Amino acid sequence: MRSTAALGVVLALASGSNAQQSAYGQYYSQCIPGTGSMTQTTQTILTTSVQSTSSSSTQLTSTRSTTSAAPTGTSALECTGTFTPISASEYVAAMNPGWNLGNTLDATPDEGSWNNPPVVAETFADVKAAGFKSVLTSSGDVVTYADHFTGSSPDWTIDPDWLQRVSDVVDMAVDAGLYVLTNVHHDSWEWADVSASGANLTMIEEKMHRTWVQIGETLGCKSSMVSLEPINEPPASDAEDGTELNKINGIFLQALAESGGFNTQRVVTLVGGAMDSIKTSEWFVAPTGYDNPWALQYHYYSPYDFIFSAWGKTILTDSDIATIEADLANIRGNFTDVPLLIGEFDASPINCEPAARRKYMDVVARTAKELDTAVILWDNGLDHLDRDTHTWRDVHAIQILMNAVAGVSNSLSDATTDAAATEQSSSAYLFHKVGDAVADQAITVSLNGNTLDSIATDDGMTLTAPTDYSISDETITFTSSFLSQYVSETAEPGTKVDLTLTFSAGATAGVTVAQWELPTLASTSSTAVAGADLLIPITWGGINEPAAVKMLRSDGDYLFDDWTQYLGPLQAAYGTYSGQWNWDSGDLILTSTTVAAVIAARVPTTFTFDFFPRVAGNSLNYTLNV
């Protein structure tokens, strides 16, 4: 769900606040067998014109309609070049793995309005150099599309300059050797929400039809490296919504057929409700009467609590891993003969613990590979590629993805997997506490059949065994003499050096050496003031971010979600990142929603901020009074 105008372009290499950090993740938090049928429905090709009763994308006032939109007399595009057909299965294989150009063409009100500048060709070169085979560029937020529609019903004319910009970005990616998938994006929850109360389905169908006729005319002469997708994460609450989305898929295909060019031969990826694997399995039925080779796309942001740092969860458990594997297997089992791709997945470096996050990347990509499913990594511009510096924020995670997709086993840093644990360990770090004498420290790595070849620092030194480290089975012990080069009883807190572990095969592993002490707050209490976030100035003590925040009222009740009492000690009474707490470079943040909850409770609330390492003695309390 990353985009701003009604178009979304997915670019694939030849060979979030960020947009997807939203409640959509709730749809991916459980695994139940689907009941999707492979039987195709007949989609009648429409020949009569039907105008919507609304000329505005905000006037969704009429009741549900079953009348489909129809062509308004456009002339079909003719191409002078050649088109090399490709099957959907060949296309999906060729575009794997992919990268999403998020928060860019999908930003509102225009391309550079969010956290990224307008896209440039160098970005695609960086993506290709990293080994990606595809890139997804989202150009279709409903608000942005609303900004780019220059006409109303029945024509719904799109600004030709915007269509040209989409075309130019597609060309950039193709010129870089990328496959391209383009879609209609955030419009799904603005004007194209078929699940909304009183949804004007006649208008939605008409507008969707006209949108895709125009996109088709713009992109119709592109090569077979360009594929199309009707709409991103369309909301669906029940089977009736699912049926309507099946109809939308047919309208999309009809519009492509009418637009001309090579569009009837072009690969398309069809979608189900919310692009959720469960809803897709239950309700998706492919349209018939069209020649396009097609694949089926879904998105995967599960386990919800881990991906979105909800309720204090920073641990990826063995049960979580089993659920991931089952989720992906279930939808594959429901669509055994259909090319599948996960069009978005991610565990953000911003809020997910590194060792657990890298393991997540591995299990999703590895399982998808085993199930003949392609993956496209979501990147909002803050997570993975720093587009300004042309560097990847976590090269180890990117290598993990590349190797897993290639079927190569990765060696992975271990971390706590017990949801009932009272503390959390992580082999992505070597932590040393201020005031402690430096001693040998050990980490464990799941070698997965590989052997350790070398360890190097980011300042150019290669470690020597046994002087600097030793290894026994899967335990690597770093000597006090090596660590003393970076940490001591009196050294300033902070990250000191990054180590890269290289193995006989697969990705490298990263280990950060960090000195820590308990952070300090400028104050430890205040009185709640409604209507704004509360910023609490902090002097950091090593890792400059909180791990989780416990929220406990003075009467003993939880500020939010009493049911978390049934979770482990690192989750009971804890809040959720972004919606209830956050941070910036110099502040801890309690959101206005959290402040309002304290005021509504009418009792003081104590907020316990946990930091990494998540161990006893590394937490701070702050009291908000009323």
Fold of 520-625: Immunoglobulin-like (2.60.40)
Supply the pLDDT for residue 143: 29
Helices (H), 104-141: 121-129
Left if phi > 0, otherwise alpha if psi is -120 to 50, otherwise beta: which for 172?
alpha
Class of domain 429-516 as given by CATH: mainly beta
Q: Which two tokens stand for residue 70?
A: 């129809």
**DSSP letters of 341-401?**
EEEEE---TTTS-HHHHHHHHHHHHHHHHHTTEEEEE---SSSSEETTTTEES-HHHHHHH
Burial of 182 (0-12, 13-18, 19+ CB in 10 A): buried
Burial of 145 (0-12, 13-18, 19+ CB in 10 A): buried
Q: Quick check: do 8-408 and 520-625 share a fold? A: no
What's the residue count for the chain? 626
DSSP-based three-state secondary structure for 136:
strand
Q: What is the CATH number of domain 8-408?
A: 3.20.20.80
Q: Which two tokens stand for residue 575?
A: 């809040």
Q: What is the DSSP letter of 493?
A: S
Supply the pLDDT for residue 626: 98
CA atoms within 13 A on the CB side of 518: 11
pTM: 0.89
Supply the pLDDT for residue 103: 80
d(CA 204, CA 290): 21
Helix (H) / strand (E) containing 239: helix 239-259
Domain ranges of the chain: 8-408, 429-516, 520-625
Supply the pLDDT for residue 138: 54
27's CB contacts (< 8 A; 6+ apart) are 274, 276, 278, 279
d(CA 121, CA 167): 13
Q: At what angle do helices 160-175 and 201-219 cross, to 10 degrees?
A: 50
Cβ atoms 148, 158 nearer than 8 A: yes
608's CB contacts (< 8 A; 6+ apart) are 549, 550, 552, 619, 620, 621
Candidates 188, 205, 234; CA nearest to 70 is 205
Token pair 């909002």: residue? 380
Q: Which two tokens stand for residue 608?
A: 């316990």
**Cα dist. 495→429, 469, 612 in Å?**
10, 20, 12
Token pair 């109809």: residue? 247
Low-confidence stretches of the chain (pLDDT beneath 50): 1-73, 139-144
